Structure 1
């Protein structure tokens, strides 16, 4: 009986950790997309920088 309880508790904990990791990945993806958009915006705004490089 106790072993089954521990297993269920562990499964809930793993599920919770996976959810947390998924949320972190979503936030990281949004952050990366924002940085990419800002970089792209700067490149489009200042064409003389791209011509020099």
Structure 2
């Protein structure tokens, strides 16, 4: 399960977002907390969740 990165059009500088995996998935890599920088880029890396099997 991949997440879609947020856009600067919908979030302002210093906005922090928190990702969470849905039931049946575990966080496998990436950052669950990301912040919009003054350049409009997001800190960290896009998280990924993998299915629990």
TM-score, structure 1 as length reference: 0.17
Q: Which has the larger radius of gyration?
A: 1
Which protein is richer in helix relative to its size?
Answer: 1
Which protein is richer in strand relative to its size?
Answer: 2
TM-score, structure 2 as length reference: 0.17
Larger RCO, structure (CA 8 Å, separation 6 or more): 2
